[in-house]
């Protein structure tokens, strides 16, 4: 398994705070844009699980607009943004 599986493994184990910290740490390495978008999405999802709505919203809005051109990604992103609005 490659390094990106670490955050997902933590998330799937219910360790949402650790997952969020891992994704935030990976973003500090200035990954390429496609990976940055994926890390931001996963970070936002982990933050939702922690009920950190404002931080999750910031993570999702930091995703580049080019990422919205992928239909499935766009659908998942919009769904998570609606969750944030619902629970805020």
For 14-30, what is each residue's pLDDT tens digit?
999 999 999 999 999 99
- Residue 18 CA to residue 57 CA, distance in Å, equals 18
| Structure-block tokens of residue 14 | 């219910």
Average pLDDT over residues 47-65: 93
pLDDT bucket at 1, cuts 50 / 70 / 90: very low
pLDDT at 68: 76
Q: How many whole angstroms separate alpha carbon 80 and alpha carbon 68?
A: 13
- Closest-CA residue to 76 (of 24, 23, 40): 40
The Cβ of residue 77 has, within 10 Å, a number of other Cβ atoms equal to 21
Rounded average pLDDT over 26-53:
94
Summary mean pLDDT of the chain: 89
């Amino acid at each position: 398994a490659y390094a990106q599986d670490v955050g997902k493994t933590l998330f799937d184990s219910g360790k949402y705070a650790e997952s969020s910290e891992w994704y935030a740490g990976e973003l500090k390495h200035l990954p390429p844009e496609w990976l940055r978008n994926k890390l931001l999405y996963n970070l936002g999802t982990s933050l939702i699980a922690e009920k950190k709505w404002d931080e999750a919203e910031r993570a999702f809005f930091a995703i580049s607009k080019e990422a919205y051109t992928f239909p499935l990604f766009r659908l998942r992103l919009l769904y998570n943004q609606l969750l944030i609005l619902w629970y805020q």
